[in-house]
Amino acid sequence: MKFRAGEIAQYLHGEVVGDYEVTVSTISKIEEGTAGSLAFLANPKYEHYLYDSDASIILVNRDFTPRNPYKATLIKVDDAYQAFASLLQLYAKTRSGMKTGIEQPSFMDESVVAGEELYFGAFAYAGKNVKIGKRVKIYPQAFIGENVTVGDDTIIYSGAHIYDDTRIGARCIIHSGAVIGSDGFGFAPQADGSYQKVPQVGTVILEDDVEIGANTTIDCGTMGSTIIRQGVKLDNLIQVAHNCDIGEHTVMAALTGLAGSTRVGRFCRLAGQVGLAGHLSVGDHVTIGAQSGVAKDTASDQVILGSPAMEYRQAIRMYSVLRNLPQLRQEVIDLQKEVKKLREIISKNRE
């Protein structure tokens, strides 16, 4: 499908600088642009690519002023990155072809209730009393356990596993290999040193507009629910333990792990490989740097870093000292030698 510059500008509320009629049918990076493709420029360090790019249309920020001649038609928008993201969503929907229908072989229990425009891929499974909303896409080999609810416009990709009693809201995306509702890590130590499994009888609730990355696992509550609230985005390879509660519009990067009953507030940002101990609370609008280990409650509106995690400026000061430790060590050794010499001189003078 082809789109004209004028149509794209109208969709994005942008301004065309160049040919209104030029068309594009694909997208590209600005440095890899070809005729018929659309790219964007948001980061100034990539500006030099604009002047040689073969892309037919390039999105730029409204305040951008070119310094050299260029070939492309520009569309000026308030935020080029956000505008490009909007077009990517439109492009992805167009490319997917809006699949519908039930492929065979697949299994759907006779008690399943599904809304209109369902896509149910080959070898997918839906158990008893499952309720599926409108325009849901469930790709091949996905597993949907009993009593699961799936909201409108949700996508569940191939190989995802949704355990019994899970509730999934509208417009969620669950990527391949994700496991939602697996048992929490609950074991009671016994007198002989062995461990007895504590049955995990709770559920998982995913509110609207949640995205779960590939091979991420979310454990059910021991009792009650593990809750992923509206707008949360979890990257690939994340572990969320039983009875955690992740606040609205929080984002977490890959390899982050949350121990049981941890609560994370709204609009938080966790970088890669962050670890949170169990039964602690993180406030709203908290940013946690990569590879940080959080072992105590954290108040709202903070930036923390390190292991154990501490306030960002304090952590930077500490790392500055650590970086100079070899030099400081040598200075201490030299001072010890000087003190020894002075002691020897004083001792001789006393004699």
CB 153 within 8 Å of CB 171 = yes
Mean pLDDT score, 25-32:
94
Catalytic residue among 242, 249, 279, 285: 242
Q: Higher pLDDT residue, 227 or 87?
A: 227
CATH topology of domain 101-313: UDP N-Acetylglucosamine Acyltransferase; domain 1 (2.160.10)
Which tens digits make up the pLDDT trace of 104-121?
999 999 999 999 999 999
CB 227 within 8 Å of CB 241 = no
Which tens digits make up the pLDDT trace of 130-189?
999 999 999 999 999 999 999 999 999 999 999 999 999 999 999 999 999 999 999 999
CATH topology of domain 3-96: 3.40.1390
pLDDT exceeds cutoff 80 at 92: no
- The predicted model scores a pTM of 0.86
Q: Annotated catalytic, 48?
A: no
- Given this model, what pLDDT does residue 350 score? 81
What's the 3-state SS for the chain? CCEEHHHHHHHHCCEEECCCCCEECEECCHHHCCCCEEEEECCHHHHHHHCCCCCCEEEEECCCCCCCCCCCEEEEECCHHHHHHHHHHHHHHHHHCCCCEECCCCEECCCCEECCCCEECCCCEECCCCEECCCCEECCCCEECCCCEECCCCEECCCCEECCCCEECCCCEECCCCEEEECCCCEEECCCCCEEECCCCCEEEECCCCEECCCCEEECCCCCEEEECCCCEECCCCEECCCCEECCCCEECCCCEECCCCEECCCCEECCCCEECCCCEECCCCEECCCCEECCCECCCCEEECCCCEEHHHHHHHHHHHHCHHHHHHHHHHHHHHHHHHHHHHHHHHC
> What is the Cα 65 distance to its own chain's centre?
33
- Given this model, what pLDDT does residue 98 score? 72
Confidence label for 95 from pLDDT (cuts 50, 70 and 90): low
> What is the Cα 341 distance to its own chain's centre?
60
- Given this model, what pLDDT does residue 105 score? 97
Confidence label for 349 from pLDDT (cuts 50, 70 and 90): confident
Mean pLDDT score, 25-34:
94
Domain locations along the chain = 3-96, 101-313
